[in-house]
Structure 1
Amino acid sequence: MAPRYAPSLRSRLAPFLLFLQIGFIVIYAFCTEIENNVQKDRTTFSNFYPEFQDVNVMVILGFGFLCTFLVRYGFSGTGFNLLVAVMATQLAIILNGIESWYYRGKIRLDLKSLVVAEMCASSALIAIGTVVGKTNPVHLILIALLEVSGFVLNQWLLQTLLKVRLLNSIMLLHIFGALFGLTLTWILYRKGSEQQFEKETFDRKTGLFSMLGAVFLWMFWPSFNAILVDDRIPGRKLGAVCNTYLALAVSAVTAAAVSVLTSPKGKLNPIHMQSCILAGGVAVGVSISAVHQPWQAMTIGFTAAVVSTIGFRYLKIHMLLAFQCHDTCAVLSTYGLPGLLGWLAHLILQLIDSDDHRMAIRFAVFHISALLITISLSLLTGIITGLLLKWNFWRPPQDNKCFDDQAFWEFPHLVVRK
């Protein structure tokens, strides 16, 4: 049984959280202000707020419930997701507003800045999926803060050096988060992971809650992909919503079919239906600015689901055995591979639409450079974070306490009375 007071929570988590939160309050007190312009970039509160709520639901409910599939990690899956999301969002608002603070003396807050910050936090939540159950809350907060810092730096480099638009730079969050997480879980590898931890299992009840999270993500993903699309061009935002929905629909059908085909008993795998149905939304999101026809989105969704489902079936175990990457939530198959596929689709579609060969070559060079910068920075920040977390000062949970809520949460009905 877990100790009544887990040392990592009493002596490390509480002071760490209070220090960070007080620091954020001080920064917000002196460096931020609410945007006074009611109609900024031709979007008003009334038509932007519903999309903001959609993204909020995805980040809090979608990613939170998606991590509840582990049989004894439901409280931690949802509770730590909320904790990490709100801390990462607060930091992302500050980091994204540094330029505004430098030139205007204040960080301007509006719904768009909140949305961008939550999307940055989503990248951290994706990365954390690789180490779910094997870390304590202090680890998770550190991972989120360092990952968001690296991702914001990556955005700034792409927008400054390569003049990449905000939409295209932030949609690389899937690739950045997945590669960051894989590097992290490789460095934090635990011996004996090949034999699966005792509590690294799922049952019907936890699987149902996890499926609920996947449904939330599936339903609101069109808003996630379309919210930053420039609506000054008629039909562009509507096209992004329609294309994302069609890609998600195709990926759900395809994931079900491939799951049955790859199953030894010819049955649906519930984990495939929870993760791989999202592959189309990930892939078309990365390529959203280049997808203009429904059939293009559907083709991308079909291919992404095939790659994701096959990767989930065969690649996860090979990554564990060959590279010692214990990817708890199969982030590589759910986000990494579909993200890379979306990047490739963006390149191909842009080259096809270009009539000027010189401009096409120029775009290809910049597009490839953006990917290389993203990969390099995600791997570098992942290595730095992993080496920092290997320090025993953070007191990682013992193997027999991995994937167990009791190590971190109070359950009065389980208390032993003397």
Structure 2
Amino acid sequence: MAPRYAPSLRSRLGPLLLFLQTGFIISAFYFEIRDEAIHRDIYAEFQDVNVMVVLGFGFLGTFLVRHGFSSSGFNLLVAAIATQWALILMGIESWYDKGRIFVDLRSILVAEMSAASALISMGAVLGKANPVQLILLALLEVSGFILNEWVLLSLLKVRPLNEIMLLHIFGAFFGLTVTWILHRKGSHEGFEKEKFDKKSGLFSMLGSVFLWMFWPTFNSVLVEDHVPWRKLGAVCSTYLALAVSAVTAASVSVLSSARGKLNLIQMQSCILAGGVAVGVSMSAVHQPWEAMAIGFTAAVLSSTGFKYLKSHMLLAFDCHDTAATLSTHGLPGLLGWFAHLILEIKNCDDHTVAIRFAVFHICTLLVTITISLTMGTVTGFLLSLNFWRPPQNRKCFDDQAFWEFPHLAVRK
């Protein structure tokens, strides 16, 4: 007879967290807070990104009716660990040269945005992985993303803003690879607890609203102020793309419904597609109509993908994407990359320069996807080990596997 309760993680989770945090504290002896005048005025933007990472992504995953504690709680845990790990990895070069790792608001911002790639991937395995697996996923993904940044910056000389915004593509393909390797028998029939109700849908929509409100900051915070209108242009372009994608997502949701009604879970993911696509193509977007056209196309692509692609991915490739990561981040990210390519070629008068840029841009995508798939494969096989005590199928999407519920305790 199968065990009644999910296996205890006492011997896995507690020691792992203490070991990691002790290591981070020891590493902090090499930290040095750097006060740079150009980075003193970004605290408000820093808080906006915090709201997105902690509240936005945290509540976005609470649509599962019995997984609210885990979605929000594990999101904060993973974000805190991944940000510290990213700070250390980003400072390795400085530590090697100067013996110190310099920390300021900008470096923490970049680390937190790198951690966001792990939160994106977490959506693909949401409800099917325990916290130990999620922490390992975050550590390996952030390592791969920082490696990808280093390759793009050092070898291809990609602008910092362009390479950091590839986090959507990197996170989506990483998560899809992991969930494909961790495929569970019985996924085609569906999980009993993989459903949502009115209350969980409302909390999840709250996360989407937070993300929608603060996404302009996320896309513009790393834009340099050397040209005064560029940061303002990034904010305005992102807002316009988000506004268009919200309206378009509602329209597609109604048109694709058999009863002509709005689908809350479909909308909450697809209203963000414009922000994702414009973020990836930000440096090439100069006109409002360009941002609005990208937002419209991204919403159509994302909404259609959510409606039809998620089920087809499961049937054709045994890839169970819980939070529709491919439709929310992957497809809009690829659209943003393609829009960036088209806009740059359109604005280029020299055909030779245009061809060189196209080759360079294609190499950037290929490198990102290659590293993402490679690291995702390694992570997937590592997490598939029974040593991590993954939850049984009937305990997936259930908070009771990991959280205390005193009123439901069985008294002997």
Cα distance between partner residues in 2 of 1:413 and 1:266: 41
Aligned partner letter, 2:9: L
**Counterpart AA for 1:22:** T
Check if 1:248 corresponds to 2:242: yes
| Separation of aligned partners in 2, 1:151 and 1:35 | 24
Distance 2:176 2:244 in 1: 28
Of residues 212, 215, 225, the one that matches 1:218 is 212
- Conserved? CA contact 1:12–1:138, under 8 Å: yes
Residue 15 of structure 1 corresponds to which residue in structure 2?
Answer: 15
1:412 counterpart residue number: 406
Could you tell me which runs of 5 or more consecutive residues in structure 1 were left unpaired when the two chains were aligned.
none
What is the TM-score normalised by the length of structure 2? 0.98
Q: Report how far residue 8 of structure 1 moved.
A: 4.1
Please name the residue that 1:24 is paired with: 24
Deviation at 1:241, TM superposition (A): 0.1
Percent pairwise identity: 72
User: Is 2:105 the partner of 1:111?
Assistant: yes
Which residue is 2:317 aligned to? 323
Counterpart residue number, 2:278: 284
Tell me the CA shift for residue 335 of structure 1.
0.3
Indicate the SS of the match to 1:338: helix
- In 1, distance between residues paired with 2:122 and 2:283? 28
* Pairing 1:351–2:345 present: yes
What is the CA–CA distance in structure 1 between the aligned matches of 2:8 and 2:176, rounded to whole Å? Answer: 24
2:118 corresponds to 1:124:
yes
Shift of 1:36: 3.2
The residue type equivalent to 2:161 in the other structure is L
2:222 equivalent among 215, 228, 250: 228
Q: State the Cα deviation string for residues 154-197 of structure 1 (Å, max 9, x = none).
A: 00000000000110001000000000000101000001101110
Deviation at 1:3, TM superposition (A): 6.7
Counterparts of 1:97 and 1:360 in 2: how far apart (Å)?
35
Match of 1:187 in 2: 181
User: Is the 8 Å Cα contact of residues 2 and 407 (structure 1) preserved in structure 2?
Assistant: no
Q: How far is 1:416 from its partner?
A: 1.6
Partner of residue 380, structure 2:
386
Corresponding residue for residue 206 of structure 1: 200
Distance in 2 (alpha carbons) for counterparts of 1:400 and 1:255: 33
Q: Using the alignment, how far apart are the partners of 1:184 and 1:406 within structure 2?
A: 24
Partner-residue secondary structure (3-state), 2:127? coil
Q: With structure 1 as the length reference, what TM-score do the two structures score?
A: 0.97
Query: How far did residue 358 of structure 1 move?
Result: 1.6
C-alpha contact (below 8 Å) 1:8/1:138 kept by paired residues: no
CA contact (8 A) 1:308 1:338 kept: yes
CA distance in 2 between partners of 1:135 and 1:101 (Å): 35
1:169 aligns with 2:168: no
Structure 1 residues 361-400: Cα deviation after superposition (integer angstroms, max 9, x where no partner): 1111111000000010000000000000111100100011
SS at match of 1:108: strand
| C-alpha distance in 2 between matches for 1:109 and 1:142 | 24
Residue of structure 2 equivalent to 1:143: 137
Q: Within the alignment, does 1:94 sit opposite 2:93 as a pair?
A: no
| Offset of residue 9 of structure 1 | 2.1
In the alignment, the residues of structure 1 paired with residue 3 and residue 241 of structure 2 have an alpha-carbon distance, to the nearest angstrom, of 45
Residue 7 of structure 1, CA deviation? 4.2
Deviations 1:252-282 (A, max 9, x none): 0000001111111111010122100000000
* Aligned ranges 1:46-65 → 2 under 5 Å: 47-65=41-59
Structure 1: 4+ residue segments shifted above 4 A:
1-4
Distance 1:143 1:414 in 2: 31
8 Å CA contact 1:279, 1:301 repeated in 2:
yes
Is 2:267–2:303's contact at 8 Å kept on the other side of the alignment? no
- The runs of 5 or more residues in structure 2 that have no matched partner are none
- Whole-angstrom distance in 2 between the partners of 1:328 and 1:7: 22
CA distance in structure 2 between the aligned counterparts of 1:138 and 1:8, rounded to whole angstroms: 11
Question: What is the distance in 2 between the residues matched to 1:161 and 1:364?
Answer: 16
Code of the aligned partner of 1:190: R
